[in-house]
Chains A and B, each alone.
Chain A
């Protein structure tokens, strides 16, 4: 069991799912309440990582972060090193890779809030932002937790993108799924078995939380 890779992956998944909470809520808000005619195009773009092969994403990320791209050069002038083969690079790749797994549960829970409550809040003088903060967000807790847990679990299991932009550096970009791959390829099955089992248990526990929460959408949870 490679604990260094395990904790690296947990750190990556925590950072990514926390950032997705910050990025995903505004996107989900917009997707829920916008009446723009071409909104479906944005919805399709957000959902892309679900169907796109990770290799496509990995390839684009590698090219976009590389020292030949404007973004890569800007980052290099700022920090002195390229984004590819760094932990920050993995964070960016994972943000894209897990975006729909956060945004979609957020948006569907926002959309499920009774519009009568929104109108009542507005008639009592609350601005849309106040209504969102005081009515929609508290009623969407299950969706927020679901999105957080799903993006966490999805990042935990990320492989293709990391393989293409990570460079397999121990303690920096060697994530748990890459470690398992290496163990299997070097016929080190007992070690691969242990690590895979830990990942299986963690993933099962996370998904159990998600499905447990969604069993009765509004009335569960110790936070009520």
Chain B
């Protein structure tokens, strides 16, 4: 019996030691599981994923969360961690550019192609979901886009804040909000694709959502984490990212 237990501990110990644990921005929750599965199939390396808003994850990392890699929806957070000595600068990699879209359910009367973001002024839009600008890059992008179009003050009382961009997407997908400013990667995800329409917010309406990944200094698996980042540069991985609604960055590090 004791031997059996020892064996069990050995196995679980090994399994934990081999996993690389990735903290990732909520906009990656359709793409990253596919990338991780493909990577595991190719190399045998298992990848565990934890999703949240980039700001929340940054704070968790500051407080010692046991992540090996961090995928942020905004390059600013990895930069902060590098400045604080919590992430290694040479590993910083811009893997994609995130796109913001205005999403409405299929039964919505709004004509997005005609009015674009101005359609939010429609009186049938009682609630507009966005991610919390305090912690989520997509929330800041949404706020910037609303200000850019000059309608922020008119609709600000109708905003509801999701804890991260996935929750903002869920608020509008479930019909509790009538429109949402969410990630293109959510609009294209299987769970939402057939349930609504979207309008892509022009890139000049908000600061570029540079998605960046970085290996964390506290990680005990620096090499394994770096190898996973290398895989992201492969044509297979980049084409999967594009199909999931990300643009590729113009310049690479």
Chain A positions within 8 Å of B, measured between CB atoms, are 62-63, 65-68, 80-82, 84-85, 163, 167-169, 182, 184-187
Contact = CB atoms under 8 A, between A and B. Distances in A.
B62 interface: yes
Contacts of B53: 185
Nearest to A187: B59
A66 B129 contact: no
B55 A186 contact: yes
A54 to B, nearest CB: 14
Interface of B: 53, 55-56, 59, 62, 126-127, 129, 132, 134-135, 159-163, 171, 174-177
A68 B174 contact: yes
19 contacts: A63-B174, A81-B127, A82-B176, A84-B176, A85-B176, A163-B163, A167-B160, A167-B161, A167-B171, A167-B177, A168-B132, A168-B160, A182-B135, A185-B53, A185-B56, A185-B134, A186-B55, A186-B59, A186-B134
Given A63-B174, A182-B132, A168 B127 contact: no
B134 A182 contact: yes
A85 B127 contact: yes
Nearest to B159: A169
Contacts of A168: 132, 160-163
Given A66-B175, A67-B175, A167-B127, A185 B135 contact: yes
Contacts of B162: 167-168
A130 to B, nearest CB: 47
A66 B176 contact: yes
Given A167-B127, A186-B135, 9 more contacts: A62-B176, A66-B174, A66-B175, A85-B127, A85-B160, A167-B161, A167-B162, A169-B159, A186-B55
A199 B132 CA distance: 24
A185 B55 contact: yes
A18 to B, nearest CB: 27
Contacts of B177: 85, 167
A187 B160 contact: no
A85 B157 CA distance: 12
Nearest to A76: B126
Contacts of B126: 80-82
Nearest to A165: B176
B163 to A, nearest CB: 6
A62 B173 CA distance: 12
Contacts of A82: 126-127, 176
B175 A169 contact: no
B220 to A, nearest CB: 25
Closest 3 CB pairs of A and B: A167-B160, A168-B161, A84-B176
B127 A184 contact: no
Contact of A67 (B59, B160, B176): B176
A175 to B, nearest CB: 13
Contacts of A65: 176
